[in-house]
Amino acid sequence: MQALKAIKKSERGSALLTALLVMTLAASAAMAMIVRQNFDIRRTEQMLTTDRIYQHTLGVETWAVLELLAARANLEEGVEPIDTLYDDWAQPLETTAVEEGYLGGEIIDLQGLFNLNNLVEIESWQQAGFGEEDITEPVDEEEQPVDEGAEAGEPLFVDDDALEALDRFSQLAIFTRLLMLVEPNLYEEDAFEIAVAVRNWLDPESGIDYIYENAFPPYLPGHRPMASVTELRMVAGMTPELFDALINYVTVLPPSLLAELGFEQGLEGEEGEQISSAVTPINVNTAPPLVLQALLGGISEEEAQDISLAPGEAGFQSREEFLEAINIEDEHKRLIEIGLADKIGVNSNHFLVRSEAGLDRQSLVLFSLLQRVDDGYVRVVWRSRGTL
């Protein structure tokens, strides 16, 4: 009997332990379900908040589109549009409180900066409206001197000095000067080598793959227009310090002709023919003085500042007015004007919108590249969250 009672007590103890184990497992499972449910709820809240913030930044982008359209709304027919830093679109959207958060933004004129994709360019002569028939090597320098008084469109007979004057305003020369301005300790030879390296990165026929194939780890150059200015970091010779100094003065814009065909088509047209990228001119009304200094060459920072401030709020009304303001004193004045003709403008069609919004301890910065099209609308070329 005693043994039987002991067995029953042992069974009751085992049953109790089993019941406690089941309760523990059930409680653990319930707790895990609660934790998982709370996690899912919080994740859903985060997703909804993130989406709300993104919608706020898109609202700032819409504000930018409307501002850019309004700037052209009352333009008289036949009048060249002007864009300056005094226009309404150039004034930032101050940080504004919204329900449980804030939003703000600004529009940056990218055509006031140097477009790196311009380094692979059409001949300056063609961009200025002069064909091969307009440019002739002199048969005899005494009989065919440089015609400084030639009217626009008339043949210009070019000697070596004239070609040197034009080369002074090549995209490569402008970028070389810009590198030396942002990094004063950079020698001209080194700056030129970096400028050539950037051009070779873009040029599909440069044949410089071996430079990057021998890097560690190896990689290949783009051989197409840059899609992001951060791509500049990968070019041979570019240092982090030089990149940081340069970032506020350069941009990358889709070449005009390629933008019309769809940027994804690269450097070839629908039938495989090679397409030259049209130069994106620098808007002299919005360019920083340092960019003007690099553009013109041979002028001081103070002179560039004076040129920038010369037209006041009205801005330069035409290229001709700008060229008069810089007071070119050169024996090849006409040729220099041709060299600058395709590189300057007084209006812009490419803008970077920086939209910022915050909500419930979260924030987002959205970058949008807008292109204002002549047909009277603004299209979004690309968007990027948090980084260029």
Domain with 81 in it: what CATH number? 3.30.1300.30
pLDDT tens, residue by residue, 226-260: 989 999 999 999 999 999 999 999 999 876 544 44
Domain with 123 in it: what CATH number? 1.10.40.60
Q: Does residue 2 form part of some domain?
A: no
* CA pair distance 177, 294, nearest whole angstrom: 5
pLDDT tens, residue by residue, 2-48: 555 555 555 666 777 888 888 888 888 888 888 888 888 888 888 88
Side chain identity at residue 139, one-letter code: V
Same domain, 185 and 56: no
The three-class DSSP label of residue 359 is: strand
pLDDT tens, residue by residue, 89-122: 999 999 989 888 899 999 999 999 999 999 985 4
Same domain, 235 and 296: yes
Measured from the Cβ of residue 24, the count of other Cβ atoms closer than 10 Å reads: 10
Same domain, 186 and 254: yes
- Quote the pTM value: 0.77
Same domain, 118 and 30: no
Per-residue pLDDT of the chain (388 residues; tens, 9 = 90+): 555 555 555 566 677 788 888 888 888 888 888 888 888 888 888 888 889 999 999 999 999 999 999 988 877 777 788 999 999 999 999 998 988 889 999 999 999 999 999 998 544 333 334 333 333 333 343 444 444 444 444 544 556 666 666 778 889 999 999 999 999 999 999 999 999 999 999 988 888 899 999 888 999 998 888 989 999 999 999 999 999 999 999 999 876 544 443 433 333 333 333 333 467 899 999 999 999 999 988 888 899 999 888 888 889 998 888 988 887 666 667 777 777 878 899 999 999 999 999 988 889 999 999 999 876 789 999 999 988 7
pLDDT at 371: 92
* CA pair distance 104, 181, nearest whole angstrom: 32
Its domain, for residue 359, covers: 12-68+75-111+350-385
CB 315 within 8 A of CB 285: yes
Q: Does residue 248 form part of some domain?
A: yes
Q: Does residue 200 form part of some domain?
A: yes
Same domain, 142 and 84: no
The three-class DSSP label of residue 184 is: coil
pLDDT at 133: 39
- Please count the structural domains in the chain: 2
* CA pair distance 307, 334, nearest whole angstrom: 20
Same domain, 151 and 263: yes
Measured from the Cβ of residue 242, the count of other Cβ atoms closer than 10 Å reads: 19
